[in-house]
Structure 1
Amino acid sequence: MTSPQPPLSADEIIDIVDEDDRVVGQSRRDEAYARGLRHRCAFILARDAEDRIFVHRRTDRKLVFPSLYDMFVGGVVGAGETYDQTALREAEEELGVSGLPQPERLFTFLYEDGPRRWWSAVYQVRCELPVRPQPEEVAWHAFLTEDELTARLPEWQWVPDGLEGYRRLLKWRAEKSG
């Protein structure tokens, strides 16, 4: 019998930021989570050629929100990295592709839920390549229409930061088109 594998990315060094999203220090990722230190994340909404949204269930090895569903790919901004660099790196890694266009940055918001606090830059990207999601990150995936995604919002357990990001994205789109 093998022992369970440890969560991913606990030793990664990340930038710690203040309430205005300015870098004020660095920390190991697991320490930042344990101490509730504010950091940065990039959320990328990936659509295929048919305009469907990439939706996935996270693996049970994820450090935060294991085994929950998400409509964004993305992750924590590494130390010294920009949001834009993270968005492209994370989208390509999680989708298992290379050669994506630079994701388009839409807006940024501060996610706060108890000790969990991070600045979240929301992006979108078109992925017309065949995806091969990272098995370490993605336990299940599919491309869903917006109607299919909307129908599953009350049915599935979603990562709370992604759900908040998606709600803000819908509001941002409505304000932009109105």
Structure 2
Amino acid sequence: MPSNPDEPFDVVNQHDDVIMQLPRHEVHRRRLFHRAVHILVYNSKGDIYMQRRSPTKDTYPNRWTTSCSGHVDAGETYDTAAVREISEELGICIDSADTLDDVFTHSPCRATGYEFIHVYRLVWDGEITFDPEEISEGRWFTPQDLEADMSAHHDDYAPSFHLVWELAKEAS
């Protein structure tokens, strides 16, 4: 379903401590710090699954981005959000975040949309069934093909993905 502008988000301070809750639209309009997760899904051959955001998304519609990403709901942990998001967006059901590898965390900045982000990695050779409300297209890229496409079509990729991709390469 489309994003709810009145969905409550935890607003956090510079230490990632929750300080209040406000509606999604207000948090984004005021560029307040909040939380999100990104999951990089690879297959056993080392290809990465990428999603093209739906044209109905409120930020960066139709742009390629992380395999799976989403906001941490009010009162939710990063790990719980990662498990929920990967199920909702890609139809991948995992028992717990223990199945995911922690890659890195990053503090809020313009590229992250003022979000503290936790980035995870999952190796998955099973079926992926993406949510067409969230994602208009999904496909596997070799890392080399992804790099070439990002170079040739820089603006076809969400700013957060550019940051996540560079930092994930450094972390591996």
Q: TM-score, normalised by structure 1?
A: 0.87
Q: 8 Å contact 1:96–1:131 — kept in the other structure?
A: yes
Q: CA RMSD in A?
A: 1.9
Q: 8 Å contact 1:35–1:115 — kept in the other structure?
A: no
Alignment equivalent of 1:70, drawn from 40, 50, 65: 65
- Percent identity of paired positions between Structure 1 and Structure 2: 28
Q: 8 Å contact 1:55–1:72 — kept in the other structure?
A: yes
Shift in alpha-carbon separation, 1:49–1:115, aligned structure 2, 3 A: closer
Q: Which amino acid aligns with 2:168?
A: L
Distance 2:21 2:101 in 1: 27
Q: 8 Å contact 1:72–1:162 — kept in the other structure?
A: no
Q: Could you report, residue by residue, the CA deviation over 1:133-158 in whole angstroms, capped at 9, with x for unpaired residues?
A: 00001101101111111111123311
Q: Could you report, residue by residue, the CA deviation over 1:93-124 in whole angstroms, capped at 9, with x for unpaired residues?
A: 11123236632222110131189311011110
Distance 1:15 1:138 in 2: 25
SS for the counterpart of 1:112 is: coil
Distance 1:118 1:79 in 2: 14
Alignment equivalent of 1:140, drawn from 134, 137, 141: 137
What is the match of residue 53 of structure 2? 58
Q: Which runs of 4+ in 1 moved over 3 A?
A: none
Q: How far did residue 31 of structure 1 move?
A: 1.1
Q: Which amino acid aligns with 2:31?
A: G
Aligned 1:1-178 pairs, distance under 5 A: 7-99=2-94, 102=97, 103-113=100-110, 116-156=113-153, 157-173=156-172
Shift in alpha-carbon separation, 1:121–1:150, aligned structure 2, 3 A: same
The size of the alignment, in residue pairs, is: 168
Distance 2:120 2:112 in 1: 24
Shift in alpha-carbon separation, 1:98–1:68, aligned structure 2, 3 A: same
SS for the counterpart of 1:85 is: helix
Q: 8 Å contact 1:16–1:24 — kept in the other structure?
A: yes
Consecutive unaligned residues of structure 2, counting only runs of 5 or more, are: none
Consecutive unaligned residues of structure 1, counting only runs of 5 or more, are: 1-5, 174-178
Distance 1:114 1:123 in 2: 18
